[in-house]
Structure 1
Amino acid sequence: MRGLRLLLAMAFSCLWLPSSRGKTLRGSFSSASAWELQGQSISHFQFHGDHALLCVRINNIAAAVGKEAKLYLFQAQEWLRLQESTQEDYSCTEKLSKAPLTMTLNHTEHNLTVSQIPYPQTWYVFYVDKFTCDDDFENSELEDISFEMILLNPDAAGNPLDHFSAGESGLHEFFFLLVLIYFVAACIYAQSLWQAIKKGGPMHMVLKVLTTALLLQAGSALANYLHFSSYSKDGIGVPFMGSLAEFCDIASQIQMLYLLLSLCMGWTIGRMKKYQSRPLQWDSTPASTGIAVVIVIIQSILLLWEQFEDTNHHSYHSQHNLAGILLIILRVCLALSIGCGLFQIITVERSTLKREFYITFAKAITIGVIICQSVSMVILYRLFLSHSLYWEVSSLSSVTLPLTISSGHKSRPHF
Structure 2
Amino acid sequence: MYYLITALVAFTSCPPAAFGKTVTGLFKSGVARERDGQFITRFMYQGDKGLVVCRLPNAPLAVEKESRLLMYRDMDKGLDNLSCSERLAKADLTISLTLEEHNQTIPHQASPTAWQALYADRYTCQDGGPIPAQSDLSFTVLLFNADAAGNPLEHFSADQTGLHSFYFLLLLAYFLAACIYVQPLYQALRKGGPMHMALKVLSTALALQGGSALCNYVHLARYSRDGVGLPLMGGLAEFLDSVSQVSMLYMLLSLCMGWTLSRGRKPQSRPLQWDSSPASTAVTIGGALTQGFLLLWEQYSDAWADHRSYHAQRSLPGILLMVLRVGLALLLASVLYQIISTERSALKRDFYLSFAKGCFLWFLCHPALVLTSIVLNQHQQEKMVTIGVVLFQSISVVILYQLFLSRSLYWEVSSLSSVSLPLTMSRANTRGRY
8 A Cα contact 1:11 1:300, kept in partner: no
CA distance in 1 between counterparts of 2:41 and 2:112 reads 16
CA distance in 2 between counterparts of 1:162 and 1:346 reads 54
**How does the TM-score come out when normalised to structure 2?**
0.78
Q: Which amino acid aligns with 1:127?
A: Y
Structure 1 counterpart of 2:25: 27
Select which of 161, 175, 192 maps to 1:169.
161
Q: Which amino acid aligns with 1:91?
A: S
8 A Cα contact 2:21 2:142, kept in partner: yes
Structure 2 counterpart of 1:341: 335
8 A Cα contact 2:167 2:214, kept in partner: yes
CA distance in 2 between counterparts of 1:133 and 1:110 reads 24
Shift of 1:257: 0.5
Secondary structure, aligned partner of 1:189: helix
- Determine whether 1:155 maps to 2:155: no
Structure 1 counterpart of 2:57: 59
CA distance in 2 between counterparts of 1:64 and 1:365 reads 58
Q: Which amino acid aligns with 2:63?
A: V
**How does the TM-score come out when normalised to structure 1?**
0.81
Q: How has the CA–CA distance of structure 1 residues 363 and 40 changed in structure 2, closer, same or farther, with 3 Å as cutoff?
A: closer
Structure 2 counterpart of 1:228: 220
Structure 2 counterpart of 1:47: 45
Secondary structure, aligned partner of 2:46: strand
CA distance in 2 between counterparts of 1:218 and 1:181 reads 10
Higher mean Cα deviation, 188-197 or 374-383?
Answer: 374-383
Q: How has the CA–CA distance of structure 1 residues 121 and 344 changed in structure 2, closer, same or farther, with 3 Å as cutoff?
A: same
Structure 1 counterpart of 2:323: 329
CA distance in 2 between counterparts of 1:11 and 1:315 reads 19
Shift of 1:103: 0.4
8 A Cα contact 2:74 2:114, kept in partner: yes
Secondary structure, aligned partner of 1:122: strand
Shift of 1:35: 2.1
CA distance in 2 between counterparts of 1:324 and 1:372 reads 11
CA distance in 1 between counterparts of 2:103 and 2:308 reads 29
Structure 2 counterpart of 1:18: 15
Structure 2 counterpart of 1:81: 78
Q: Deviations over 1:84-136 (max 9, x none)?
A: x1xxxx32111111111100111111111112211122111111111211223
Q: How has the CA–CA distance of structure 1 residues 131 and 364 changed in structure 2, closer, same or farther, with 3 Å as cutoff?
A: closer
Structure 2 counterpart of 1:116: 108
CA distance in 1 between counterparts of 2:214 and 2:4 reads 19
Structure 2 counterpart of 1:282: 276
8 A Cα contact 1:11 1:250, kept in partner: no
Higher mean Cα deviation, 147-156 or 137-146?
Answer: 137-146
Q: Which amino acid aligns with 2:333?
A: G
Q: How has the CA–CA distance of structure 1 residues 368 and 254 changed in structure 2, closer, same or farther, with 3 Å as cutoff?
A: closer
Mapping of 1:5-404 within 5 angstroms?
8-9=4-5, 11-12=7-8, 13-20=10-17, 23-78=21-76, 80-83=77-80, 85=81, 90-267=82-259, 273=267, 279-285=273-279, 288-310=280-302, 311-313=305-307, 316-365=310-359
Q: How has the CA–CA distance of structure 1 residues 29 and 315 changed in structure 2, closer, same or farther, with 3 Å as cutoff?
A: closer
CA distance in 2 between counterparts of 1:14 and 1:380 reads 28
Shift of 1:58: 0.8
Q: How has the CA–CA distance of structure 1 residues 188 and 356 changed in structure 2, closer, same or farther, with 3 Å as cutoff?
A: same
Task: Give structure 2 stretches of 5+ with no counterpart.
Answer: 381-434
Q: Deviations over 1:21-74 (max 9, x none)?
A: 561111222222222322121111111111111001111121111111111111
Q: How has the CA–CA distance of structure 1 residues 279 and 180 changed in structure 2, closer, same or farther, with 3 Å as cutoff?
A: same
Q: Deviations over 1:327-352 (max 9, x none)?
A: 11111111111122112111212445
CA distance in 2 between counterparts of 1:29 and 1:367 reads 47
CA distance in 2 between counterparts of 1:6 and 1:354 reads 42
Shift of 1:289: 3.4
Q: Which amino acid aligns with 1:119?
A: S
Shift of 1:164: 0.7
CA distance in 2 between counterparts of 1:306 and 1:372 reads 15
Q: How has the CA–CA distance of structure 1 residues 151 and 361 changed in structure 2, closer, same or farther, with 3 Å as cutoff?
A: same
Secondary structure, aligned partner of 2:321: helix
Q: How has the CA–CA distance of structure 1 residues 216 and 381 changed in structure 2, closer, same or farther, with 3 Å as cutoff?
A: same
Secondary structure, aligned partner of 1:167: coil
Q: How has the CA–CA distance of structure 1 residues 383 and 41 changed in structure 2, closer, same or farther, with 3 Å as cutoff?
A: closer
Task: Report percent identity of matched pairs.
Answer: 46
Q: How has the CA–CA distance of structure 1 residues 328 and 369 changed in structure 2, closer, same or farther, with 3 Å as cutoff?
A: closer
Shift of 1:382: 7.2
Equivalent residue pairs, number: 373
8 A Cα contact 1:267 1:283, kept in partner: no
Q: How has the CA–CA distance of structure 1 residues 370 and 301 changed in structure 2, closer, same or farther, with 3 Å as cutoff?
A: closer
Q: Which amino acid aligns with 2:62?
A: A
8 A Cα contact 1:41 1:127, kept in partner: yes
8 A Cα contact 1:18 1:313, kept in partner: yes
CA distance in 1 between counterparts of 2:333 and 2:178 reads 31
CA distance in 2 between counterparts of 1:305 and 1:131 reads 36
